[in-house]
Structure formats: C-alpha cells, structure tokens
Amino acid sequence: MPLNVAVQMDPLDAINIAGDSTFALMLSAQARGHRLFHYAPEDLNYSGGQVWTKAHPVSVQRVVGSHFQFGEPVRLDLGDEADVVLMRQDPPFDLGYITATHLLERIAHKTLVVNDPASVRNAPEKVFVLDYARFMPPTLVTRSLDEARAFLATHGEIVVKPLHGNGGKAIFKVGKDGANLASLIEVFNTAYREPHMVQAFLPSVAAGDKRIVLVDGVVAGAVNRVPGEGEIRSNLAVGGTAAKTELTAREVEICEALGPELEKRGLIFVGIDVIGGEWLTEINVTSPTGIVAIDRFNGTDTGGMIWDAIEARIAARG
C-alpha cells in the first residue's frame, strides 16, 4: 500500500546525493510507490491537538544538479495525512531539535515517526552510550579543568569533544604535557553550557572508526572510516575515507547487547561507532548516516531493509 512519507530534513539543494543516507531512503521509498513530502523542522505548527507543516510534494532522482523536483506546497496534517515522518535533519541537538521531538511526539500515536521522537530526545549520541559503559573507553563527563587534568594524568593522552557535537566537529587531542588543556576547557565552557566528554585517546583510531548500522536492532552492515593524513577524526564529513570491513567478535557482542533496547525504543535506524574493533564511542540516533557506503561495498540494500522495518511496524499497528 502506498504511504504518505513526510521527510523532515535540511534543504534538499544542499545535500551530496552521492553519499546522503536520507536521499537514499527517499529513493527507496519512491521506488516502492510511496509519496514523498519535504519540509523543514522550523515549519512545524501546533494548534488544537494538530501538528501540521507547509510541505512540498517531491520526486527525486540520482542526477547531480537535478536530483529533486518540488510540487506546489500544501498544508500537510502530520497526524491525519501522513503515514510516516522521517525525522532526518542534521544536529546540533539543541532546543530547536528537542522542540521538534516534543511536537512530533503528539502525533506518534497515529503516525509512525522514525526514529521515535521521545526516544531520540532521551538518547543523545554521547549520553545514551553511557548505558553501555562496559564497552566504552575510559570516559569522563565534566566542565572541570581539575577533573580533566586528573584524567589526563591517569591516561596519558586524551580526546576532548562536545557532548552534543556531530560530524566529527570540535574534537581535540591533548598530549601528555597537557599543553592548551586549560585554554581548551575555557573555550568549551564559554561555548557550551553543558558538560563535555573527555576520553582516553585510542591509538587504534589510526586504523579506522567503524560505523555499524542496525535496523530495528539487527545489524544491516558496517563500513570502516579511516582518518585522513594528520587527522584523528575519521568521519567522512571531515575527510575520512570509507573501506570495506567485517565485524569482530567484540562488535557482534556489542550489537547483541544494544539490539533489543533499540527495537524496544522504536529506534529503527541507528548507527554506532566502534574504534579498534572493541571500543564503543557513540550510538547515533538523530540522523545516522553510512548506508550508501555500506551498500556500495557489500551489495546490500540497507534502505530497503529500513523500509521493510517501517512497513512491518505500520502493518502491526493495524
């Protein structure tokens, strides 16, 4: 049965269609006969129990420079006229993002929101992962320079990053001498009101940071992201390169531990990050990426797997 699919995302004209996971999901939905609508999160409205938006019917094609075509905008009631909402705008995970989850939560009993908005709000990437600390590298969450210095003294080299950052932005390595740690914590404390994440530096990151995608708690595939020359960050958005990979026994154990909880929370499309085949660093639920590279290396159809899971959940609702 064709579904009305509302895609809440950033402007379509700014995406890189060669690797964008949301675009891949839209292509997959369109191939199944589903109808697509595009809107921006700032266009959400609420009144009298209804949540609606100005949305453009949209068709997509994998043609650079001509990859989408908008129809005339419509007033789309997300509770009564949409079957699925894909919440796919990029972080930052700020009050605007959080407010969108609150609004979409009000229609989630009628419309399937992917990922579940309440679960997204309660599972920020670098906070939810703390539930699985047994798989993580040594980690400190703090705003305190004294605590960061003590952590550095214990672990020799550390990485400091924003608790709600994304895409490999603002990640700093601090060496044993602690040079610039005081200045770095000062800058972070000025820029962010929340605490920051400090972790022991893992030299094995030089061999890559693996992105593993899980669909409704089941492993769909993985890709290894290798840092560029002179970099510790392996995110593809900051110059990392993708490579084919397989899961280690430890990574299988991590996925088996996470899977049931992800399914229970309605986190259908999740990307986890693992360094050195053993160290879990993030559980990405807001707008995970990586499916295009995974499918290119493995000949799989992760987008199709995601739509199978979405359609199954809708059918189960009756």
Q: Residue 256 contacts by C-beta under 8 Å, 6 or more apart in sequence?
A: none
% of the chain exceeding 70 in pLDDT: 96
Q: What is the pLDDT of residues 170-201, one digit of tens each?
A: 899 999 999 999 999 999 999 999 999 999 99
Averaged pLDDT score across all residues of the chain: 94
- Encoded amino acid at 248, one letter: T
Give the Cβ contact number of residue 1 at 10 Å.
9
Q: What is the pLDDT of residue 235?
A: 60
Does 266 have pLDDT greater than 60?
yes
Backbone angles phi, psi at 120, to 5 degrees: -60, -45
DSSP symbols for 141-189: EES-HHHHHHHHHHHSSEEEEETT--TTTT-EEE-TT-TTHHHHHHHHH
Give yes or no for residue 142 having a pLDDT over 90: yes
Report whether pLDDT(168) > 80. no
Residues 6+ apart with CB under 8 A from 308: none
- pLDDT (0 to 100) of residue 249: 98
Which pLDDT tens digit goes with each residue over 64-73?
Answer: 999 999 999 9
Q: Examine the pLDDT at 229 and tell me if it is beyond 90.
A: no
Active site residues: 126, 161, 211, 225, 233, 273, 282, 284
